[in-house]
Structure 1
Amino acid sequence: MTDAQTETDEARRARLLQAALPNVAFEGWSANLLPRAAEATGIDMAEARRLFPRGAVDLAVAHHESGDAAMVAKLKAADLTAMRFRDRVAFALRARIEAIGDKEAARRASALFALPTHAPEGARLIWRTADLIWDTLGDPSEDLNWYTKRATLSAVWASVLLFWLGDDSWEAQATDAFIDRRIDDVMRIETMKARVNEAPLLKPFTGPLSRLTAMIRRPRPVSGPGGLPGRWTPGA
């Protein structure tokens, strides 16, 4: 067999993505991106279409997913045991920013996924990043907290990404400070929620509500890491 015949789909996808990235800064995630990448790599266009059926949209998704994978690898390699949990989340967000590499590609992807036709895909990718962070950090949630943690972190990650795209400070120091502020905001909200739930005068109201929310369970099975609520693996 030739090397082309033994090359995996994953390897071909990676080659096409790497060939496409230099052109993103000039023309965005456009329809011309995949044909140019196929020509540059010597991969047949029909094969490129099989690997990326939606063309540039799937290339942008692959770019996002490669950043998620790099973040997870860094989290698993790091010793986080001495960190407070809030600092572990901050570390994960910083690792995800570092994994982007090409800011212009991320900027163009944000514009792409802001379009109405691609907004659901963009929301799925944001949720997937938040879900991967919680899963990698060992979140044990099984009830409503599974949803609220991911929804909250999705909002934090989206705001951090947008802030970073406009950050021209030295080594993104302003983004580092922004991450700390956002997590501090979340921790204050969680502290307030705990106080409300424990307040004796509010027990007649919070008690039944807590029992009701405890009946809500995380979706099972989730369609792989980053699966959205309500999405099941076929045949599972």
Structure 2
Amino acid sequence: MIRASPRFFTVRTVQASLRSYATAHTSKSEVDLPRQILERGLQLLPEHGWDLAPATRSLGLSDQAASIFPNGKFDLLQFYLQKQTAKLASVQLKSSTPDGCVRELVHARLLANAELGPYLGEAVSMLMSPKYLPYSLEQLHNLVDEIWFLAGDKGHDATWYTRRGSLAMIYAASESFMTRDNSPNFKHTLSFCDRQLNAWSRFEAAEESVSEWFKFNAIAAFNVAKSLTR
């Protein structure tokens, strides 16, 4: 079924990306192998981080088997990002308003990063690297598009883009903030995120220039990113 608002990401996209890894194989076992390695990599992530070699060894394969993934660690990271975006559809929303649902979904996605432990910082660093930036921006767009869709966003005007651009900046800044947050249950990160969301709501309600809000939030995001290099 075709949805009314433009969308660039579906669960089928995740499935297609997984199949693309196996286009050169013919047998069922070979076709399933890339996914098996990636799934095993996520299982071992708390212990071994983004390295795929432990996953291949645990499956009885040599370390060279990881070479089927041209981007190595980043391929595992992108698999993680796709799965987390797809999982948002199962979040039980309590709010009755789109803005409230957006807040719940963003919180849920941020808190899912808790399972990464000390490897969250490395993930954010990879996402911010020039080599992977185009894909990182694509994944960020996919995430915020899914969040707005699940929140019931039905708007089809020009603000469709500004809403997604604004939320993308808020999420990126919040995730960067999270890498330095040691508070229980990432309380400080969620508070930081809420301040950004509230600021956006105030600008939107006051019909302020979108460019002014972008400037405001870009400065906040820059300051958070800068703190990560200290």
Asked if TM exceeds 0.5, the reply is yes
Q: Residue 162 of structure 1 is aligned with which of 176, 183, 193?
A: 176
Partner of 1:34: 52
Deviation at 1:5, TM superposition (A): 6.8
Could you tell me which runs of 5 or more consecutive residues in structure 1 were left unpaired when the two chains were aligned: 197-236
Match of 2:85 in 1: 68
1:15 paired residue number: 40
Q: Secondary structure at the match of 1:13?
A: helix
Q: Deviations over 1:12-58 (max 9, x none)?
A: 4312332355212xxxx4xxx223321122246676444x3322111
Structure 2 counterparts to residues 208-223 of structure 1, below 5 A: none
Alignment match, 2:7: none
1:89 maps to which of 66, 83, 102: 102
In 1, Cα distance between equivalents of 2:188 and 2:135: 28
Other structure's SS at 2:174 match? helix
**Post-superposition offset of 1:170:** 2.2
- Structure 2 vs 1, CA of residues 16 and 165 (structure 1 numbering), >3 Å: closer, same or farther? closer
Residue matched to 2:128 = 114
2-side partners of 1:72 and 1:104: how far apart? 27
CA distance in 1, matches of 2:146, 2:203: 22
Query: Is residue 2:158 matched to residue 1:144?
Result: yes
Q: The residue matched to 1:193 in structure 2 has which SS?
A: coil
Report the counterpart of residue 6 of structure 2 in structure 1: none
* 1:79 shift after superposition: 4.0
CA gap of 1:129–1:66, structure 2 versus 1, over 3 A, is same
Quote the offset at 1:110 in angstroms: 0.7
Aligned residue pairs, count: 182
2:75 maps to which residue?
A: 58
Following superposition, the deviation at residue 61 of structure 1 comes to: 1.0
Q: Secondary structure at the match of 2:207?
A: helix
What is the root-mean-square deviation in Å for CA atoms of aligned residues?
2.7
- What stretches of structure 2 of length at least 5 have no aligned partner? 1-27, 210-230
Q: CA deviation at 1:66?
A: 2.3
Q: What's the offset of the Cα at 1:136?
A: 1.6
Q: Give deviations 1:155-185, integer Å, cap 9, x for gaps.
A: 0101111122211222222222222211110
C-alpha distance in 2 between matches for 1:95 and 1:188: 23
TM-score, L = length of structure 2 = 0.68
Tell me which residue corresponds to 1:228. Answer: none
Q: Which one has the largest radius of gyration?
A: 1
Tell me which of 142, 145, 161 is aligned to 1:128. Answer: 142
Q: Partner of 1:102: helix, strand, or coil?
A: helix
SS at match of 2:131: coil
Post-superposition offset of 1:4 = 5.2
In percent, how many aligned pairs have the same letter?
23
